[in-house]
Amino acid sequence: MKKFTIWLFFLMIVNGLFVGSTAEATVKSVSTDVGIVFTDDQEQTPIVPKLPSTPGPYIPKPSPSVKGNLPSMGDLITSLIWTLLGCAVLILFVGIFSLKKIMLRIA
């Protein structure tokens, strides 16, 4: 298996060096202040979404004054502790299961 992986890696490198084509960046005349370049064949007009011709049911917009509460630092630490405890229990069960398999092979 290890030889196959090494040969596959070698073939990928050779393919990239000798068979692959090189890419080259070109400078266009239309660019922004931060250096974003637009090619000439791209349309710069925004796409207007199509609206339905008949009005639908009234959907109230959420009030901008309603804000959700973020969890407190204690809640975040508690969830982190529970996550670590769950991972530790999972590792313990996997270790016991594999130790059981090893002990059955020895006996």
Instruction: Report pLDDT digits (tens) over 47-106.
Output: 666 666 666 666 666 666 656 777 889 999 999 999 999 999 999 999 999 998 888 888
Structure token pair of residue 55? 């009005």
Residues sharing a CB contact under 8 Å with residue 39, sequence separation 6 or more, in sequence order? 28
Strand partners, 37: 31
pTM exceeds 0.75 for this model: no
Q: Tell me what pLDDT residue 90 has.
A: 96
Say yes or no to pLDDT of 44 above 60.
no
Q: How far apart are CA 70 and CA 62, in angstroms?
A: 18
Q: Are 44 and 38 in contact (CB under 8 A)?
A: yes
Task: List pLDDT tens digits, range 20-43.
Answer: 766 666 654 556 666 666 665 555
